[in-house]
Structure 1
Amino acid sequence: MIDPAAGTVDERTVDDLAVEFPTVNDAFLGAEHRYQYAVSFPDENGFGGYGVVKYDRATGGRRVREVGDARLPSEAVFVPAAGSAGEDDGYLLTVVSDLKQDASRLLVLNAADLGRVAAVHLPRRVTAGIHGSWIPDET
């Protein structure tokens, strides 16, 4: 936590799960937020058991959606649902690379519970990507 008035910074370990590529709902960038999403690497060797993790900063809980052995998800991009009201009212988009089959799919997850909404099998493997953005069509 950063406290500009006191001139202090507090750092603490939230979880011992290895994660990378953290994201939030873009509407909460630079503001207080409850939910964070990341790519998880539960295998101590860094291979197998990859997934998408959701952290709840209010409860300290986490939920992991594993994507399968040797399947590496890219950074999860948050997409708000039409007329969304809540911070996690939307979807997470991630391209999952199957490292054994040399294939990829776009995985769409419900951001609230990480339930699978859809999986689109892509015609060829897409290399792992990071730092994506969702830009809605305003037309």
Structure 2
Amino acid sequence: MKNFIEEYGTVVHEQDQNLVSICCKGYIPYENLVDIAEYGYSMIVFYKADACLINMQEMKIYPFAFEEYLRNTWYAKIRAAGINRIAFIVPENIFGKISMEHVHSSEDVKKIERQYFTDEQSGRAWLSHIPEAASQAVLSH
């Protein structure tokens, strides 16, 4: 399966850890966000991935409809597909953080082991079970 690489976001399978890495940048219209999420889901199913790295660091805000889509549909789908660990890279923008916190209050997200980081390196370390490297950037949630 090909990687999804666009100016506003990427979805990449990383074979070394069998994880799907999803990155979103800037303000992205609802339809494009759903495309990224659905491509990520397809990649999770195709590769039988059990972990995700979701980098929202440069995300400005989630459109409200996308928040609802994530809360009501996407997280349940990826959990059913086998995702049991997610490293989230937290948005720098306050509105992005608020959007993320709202989405992550859903029951389906709470059922997935997750940690929040300020940088990708720490998130990858946590997913690789390297606690000394990951412990430095874990955010409280």
TM-score (norm: length of structure 2):
0.32
Task: Give the strand-richer structure, 1 or 2.
Answer: 1
Larger radius of gyration: 1
Task: Give the helix-richer structure, 1 or 2.
Answer: 2
**Higher relative contact order structure (alpha carbons within 8 Å, sequence separation ≥ 6):** 2
